[in-house]
Amino acid sequence: MSTYKRGNKWWIRFRFNHQRYFKCSPDNSRAGAMAYEAVLRQKLAHGEPIIEVRKKQQTPLFLDFADKWLKTYVATNNKPSEQTQKTCMVRKHLKPYFGKIPLNKITSLQIEEFKAKKQVDGLCNKSVNNLLGIIGKCLRTAQEWEIIDKIPKIKSLKVAPQAVNYLNEKEYNLLLESIDQKSQFYEMLLFTLRTGVRIGELLALDWSDINYANKSITIKRNVVNGIVGSPKNNKFRTIYLAQDIFQMLSIRKRASGLVFPGENGTYYSRFSCRRSLEKFCHKANVKRIGWHGLRHSFASQLATNGVSLKTIQELLGHSDLKMVQRYAHLEPITLREAIQTLEPKNSFNLNIGYNTETIPEMVLEQNKKQVS
């Protein structure tokens, strides 16, 4: 259509002698826009010039727009950790492939070829989907900024359920035994295994976040590369402390300051924390695991102990229950046991195929009497 409404204004768009014209209607109505278009066409037919003819702008290359997108949209709307991740992925994967292609020339076929290449390069489907999410958001932003009219269809790859890397109770006890219990690193490790906090939340924890009256902590901040921000999902959460953790912190209680400071009272780097953890895993002869794996260990132990997935979700600070479904297989109650909880207590029948070894002796004796 030559007349259309964008936002609160009516516009006209038409071609005349192979030239495209865009114009905002001075009469902000559909009828006014149609009349304005008729006037402009009449002027052009008589060879009269039109003032403020909009010239078509050249569409930028992906590499140029990607830099602008990272500096404006990503820097404004994403957390520091997301900014670092997206900047790295754009530089390492997206720019080398799409960099010299104009935004409006990126096609669905090129997207599919990119997916195939990354799979050949050895990236798993989940990693490829992360890249597709970034380029998809980048192109949608370009469309919102009216730089391109449409974007190609982007189809994600199917991803198998992800295995959870965690330590069982025996393994994390071996890990703790390999570390000097008087060291701060031991306290950091034990604190993570007992609370499930993220590494950035651990490093940013302040003494003022501890409530000694009800033995709890409030997660209020997260630190990435020395930059302090809010926790993931921008939600504060309260975690109650186990007695051993509470006593450990009470011994060196302070009014304020970092609970686990690095050198000179500054923040620890994630790199040094990861390297130290890998060293102690090797020393304890347990599988290598990262700090996020300790978070999984916390959640897995809770699930094994019968804690509900909803409670685990709240403790971990996840916004969606789907994120904790990976621990469902660790819940102690089985599907058969779940159904058996609905059965009447005293109505067992010896002839319906139950394994008699699982039925209490008292009930078996009662059924024998009924049969006789």
Task: Spell out the long-range contacts of 23-27 with Cβ–Cβ below 8 A and sequence spacing 24 or more.
Answer: 23/50, 23/52, 23/53, 23/54
The answer to whether residues 81 and 230 touch, using CB atoms and an 8 Å cutoff, is: no
How confident is the model at residue 128, as a pLDDT? 95
**Confidence at residue 228, expressed as pLDDT on a 0 to 100 scale:** 86
Which comes out higher in pLDDT, residue 352 or 261? 261
User: What's the pTM?
Assistant: 0.64
Contact 195, 239 (CB under 8 A): yes
Write phi, then psi, for 224 (nearest 5 degrees).
-135, 120
| Cα distances (angstroms) measured from residue 139 to each of 94, 272, 318 | 12, 37, 28
pLDDT at 152: 94
CB-based contact 171:281 (threshold 8 Å): no
Which whole number is the average pLDDT over 69-76?
94
Q: How many CB atoms lie within 10 A of CB 106?
A: 21
pLDDT at 286: 93
Q: What pLDDT does residue 352 have?
A: 42
Domains and CATH numbers, the chain: 3-45 (no CATH), 62-144 (1.10.150.130), 169-330 (1.10.443.10), 342-372 (no CATH)
Total Cβ atoms within 10 A of residue 297 = 23
Mean pLDDT of 196-210: 93
Dist. CA 7–CA 10, nearest whole Å: 8
Phi-psi region of 18 (alpha: psi -120 to 50; beta: other; left: phi over 0): left
Please tell me the predicted confidence (pLDDT) of residue 123.
Answer: 94
pLDDT tier for residue 260 given thresholds of 50, 70 and 90: very high
Q: pLDDT for 162-184, tens place per residue? A: 777 888 889 989 999 999 989 99
Task: Spell out the SS3 assignment of 317-364.
Answer: CCCCHHHHHHHHHHCCCCHHHHHHCCCCCCCCCCCCCCCHHHCCHHHH
The larger pLDDT score, comparing residue 166 to residue 132, is at 132
Most confident of 9-18, 281-290, 355-364: 281-290
At 108, the amino acid letter reads S
Cβ–Cβ contacts within 10 Å for residue 220, how many? 16
The mean pLDDT of 258-268, rounded to a whole number, is 89
